[in-house]
Structure 1
Amino acid sequence: MKKKLIVLVAFLFVITIYFVFYHKDKTLKFVPENTDVLVLIDVKKYTRQYISKLAMHPSQWLGKKSKNKNVISIQKSGVKIPDFLPVFHVRNTKFSEWYSVVEIEDEQKFLNYLKQQKFTKKGKNIFQKDQLFLTIDGEKCIIGTSDLAFKDISNSIVSKKENYPVTSFINGSLGSISFISGSRTRNFSIELNADDIEIKDELYGNDFNKLISKLYSKKGFLETELDSKNLRNLTSFFSKTVADSSQITHFKATADLEEMSDTIITYGYDDNFNEIEKKSFQKIIQPHYAIAIQSSDPQKTEQVFQHKKWINAQNQFTAIPFQPNIIERNKTGFTIRSTRKVIQHSSKQNENYIFVRNNALLSSSFKSLTATEKKMILGLDYIFYGNKAEYYYVKLQFKKEDLPLILRW
């Protein structure tokens, strides 16, 4: 009898583990049809990875004790956390606008949660906290970095003929980023490692470690080298015509940062109403850079720059807000250099990459961020983007610590 009971308990335990950590609803009910970029997070895989790392770090078992026992957790907020959490971008909206939709199981609990999190009511069923907006739409909650597309998203979800299958976008990874264009979808996997986050093409593998090591040893803030295709992809976020119309075939940039004292001159009057000059000083972060642009038709490239009023009478390139700089023309294109401090180009790698190293001088720019956001950014070591043929790779490398990334935040 005892053996049967043990077998039954073990069976029930295995079934419970399966349904809690492995069984998943693989239907995306709340992703609108006009989505062009979709990010998916496998919540149950994330939970398994979190528990696995937590088991190996006993110092974190007690967790952080809350000063207020009445604080409502997201698990008890009245919303249903889906097995695959979608974050999407809607076609023809700003690049900064991202949205997600979740089900509401208990509206009153959810309203209490919003009140505790200090969301303010902006309009009918619309709430805002800092740059985060949300609306209660029946049994759904639409969340976004803007509220401009809430109505369109709601209408699109209601009128959608069929739901997206998860398997079209993610295949075993912790997360994925998918670019959707009509019937074509390009998927990239997201992996959360001990000290880094990798985003890479699912169809092909490549090793950029040697290039990253070489760039990291240069100690500079920015190193980038891009061909016309990569430059077109990058500038498409800002202008759809610049890369094509300017005939640029190759772009290379090197930059570093320096803290400098800036003099501010103001004028006032003394007791006798004589004008007096007042000087004050402030610390500013000034980049020093060298940019090389190659073009298949330098004359046409310059005409495009002139048309856009990017070159002023002082022969400065005004599209770069950090001045003064000077443009030097050559047979193949242009070189743009900052003039306060001369910086030399690094050697050409004949690769497509962007390498940005975190710099302590940037910390003064993080004043508007939350404590968690500051911790994440300050913990970042570098960001790398690489492309070879049809293979794309992005790596967010964080500074090495005792705890893995999943337990740091």
Structure 2
Amino acid sequence: MKKRLAYLFLALTLVVLALYLFRYKRALVIESKIPITATEVVQIDLRQIEHHLLVDALKNPFKYISFETKKKEDHASFKKAIVIPRNILFFTNDSNFKSAWFSSFFKLKDRTELENYLLQQGFKTLTDEALELFGKGNIVVAISSENVLIAYKKQSHAPVNAVIQSIFNETEFYKKDVDLLKPILNSKSDITYVSSKDAFLEADFKNGLFEIKGKLHSNLFLADSYVPYSEGALAFLSTKINRNHAIFKSLLTNKNKTKFREFTKLSMDSIVNHWNGHLLFNLKAINKEIDTIVTYEYDDDFNKIEKKSVQENNVPHTAIALGSDAKLFEYFYTNNAIQVVENDTLFTAMPLYKMYAQKQKKSLTIFTQKLFDSSMLKAEKYKLNAHMDINRYLENPLEFSLIPVKNNYLQLLGRTSAKLTTNDELLIQVWLKESNRNFLGQFIKP
């Protein structure tokens, strides 16, 4: 009897192991998936990401188990509509595919189920004679025969219908042994990016950490001497932006220019023309300051009575440096954005806090402490350096904050950093407060 149980246990173990290896240890599928004109490819290893979540669920079962009884609703399912592949690929280039990122094909299981699912998710039916298309924002889902394709448009108004039709009719695809795809096959990462310009990035969901690393050849950020990361700073950014880059130019829309002028009474174009791209932002700390507010009231006999109240404010200890010759300072001064008040040179364009201005040899520096710390401006060679201690910031945030401090997902974050060296080596890291659980698992099941 004991022998039979032992054999049964061994057999079950072998079956489970075989199923595990079959599902999670099979090679990536990239053969005949990408048209030969593609020059950039992103590969997402769906099985490996699923494995991360499986391990997280086994270690933290109560995060995934709900004891609430919910009324079962009749919703269409994406899983029932298509065959979920081992991995999915997205591709683009600078010519015929330049308008969007296009996916490799999903196999269709149930057309009606997919149509219902997309409509339930807020997609709208798009008009096209040859294809069945659904759109929502920048995302387009196309159905042709037994195949489904997803496109993510780089611009919401970009036309993609004809390109999608050409992909469905494509007959020439990359073989898996081509140079462009070899880094993907050799990678063990959750997400991989390759390009014909020798760029190669890997992204991984680890315990308490999301990390992107590799080589990225981009002239958005220029190699020069910058300020190194200031130890202990709450937030830090130092770089030189290429003002002629398409991404930067895309931010200079008429809508953004109008909003900027309404808020600051200044011209965005004039500032950009006088700025050489150098940017330093250093938030060293947020200090609590107590202000005494004096008001006056009158009693029934019209006697003036002084009343004092105390107001506590969070004030940043920060410095911002913009690379420029004297012309940027002169533009601000001419337009009353810099004023001399009681022998202090103040930056008054954004009067949220009292800010001082100082004209350096190669920059304009704006800071909140009257005694400016010039050690903030030491030089080091790289393209981009950024850091933010989100956890510390949320403990004592500014009243006027661009960050939604009450966001539940933001509360999970600890700190983040990004650095791009002069050799185009990129490292981006996002740490969570809890380091014992998988990064993605914490966002799906906090």
- For the pair shown, the structure with the greater C-alpha radius of gyration is 2
1:143 CA displacement:
3.8
The yes-or-no answer on 1:106 pairing with 2:116 is no
1:53 CA displacement:
2.3
Aligned positions of 1:10-409 closer than 5 A: 12-27=15-30, 29=32, 31=34, 37-60=40-63, 62=65, 67-70=70-73, 72=75, 76-88=79-91, 91=94, 99-103=102-106, 104-124=108-128, 125-129=132-136, 131=137, 133-138=139-144, 139-144=147-152, 146=156, 148-151=158-161, 153-157=163-167, 158-159=169-170, 161-163=172-174, 165=176, 166-169=181-184, 171-180=186-195, 183-201=196-214, 215=230, 217-218=232-233, 220=234, 222-226=235-239, 231-232=241-242, 237-239=247-249, 248=276, 251-255=279-283, 290-294=319-323, 298=325, 302=327, 313-314=334-335, 316=337, 323=350, 328-331=358-361, 333-337=362-366, 347=376, 348=378, 350=380, 352=382, 353-358=385-390, 359-360=393-394, 374-390=407-423, 391-400=425-434, 403-408=437-442, 409=444
Q: Which stretch shows the higher mean deviation, 191-200 or 47-56? A: 47-56
1:112 CA displacement:
2.2
1:50 CA displacement:
1.8
Q: Distance in 1 between matches of 2:408 and 2:152?
A: 23
Residue aligned with 2:113, SS: helix
Gaps of 5+ in 2: 217-227, 251-268, 289-313, 339-346
**What is the TM-score with the length of structure 2 in the denominator?**
0.60
Q: Which stretch shows the higher mean deviation, 189-198 or 5-14? A: 5-14
Residue aligned with 2:188, SS: coil
Residue aligned with 2:198, SS: strand
Percent identical across equivalent pairs?
A: 16
Q: Distance in 2 between matches of 1:286 and 1:36?
A: 48
> 1:276 is matched with which residue?
none
Q: Distance in 2 between matches of 1:154 and 1:33?
A: 15
Q: Distance in 2 between matches of 1:323 and 1:90?
A: 41
- AA at the equivalent of 2:186: N
1:249 CA displacement:
8.5
Please give the per-residue CA displacement for 1:197-240, whole angstroms capped at 9, x wherever unaligned.
1111279xxxxxxxxx975622x3x31223x5xx3499652149
Q: 1:194 to 1:14 in 2, by over 3 A?
A: closer
1:187 CA displacement:
0.9
**What is the TM-score with the length of structure 1 in the denominator?**
0.65
Q: Distance in 2 between matches of 1:43 and 1:15?
A: 19
- AA at the equivalent of 1:59: F
Residue aligned with 2:428, SS: strand
2:212–2:429 CA contact under 8 A, matched in 1: yes
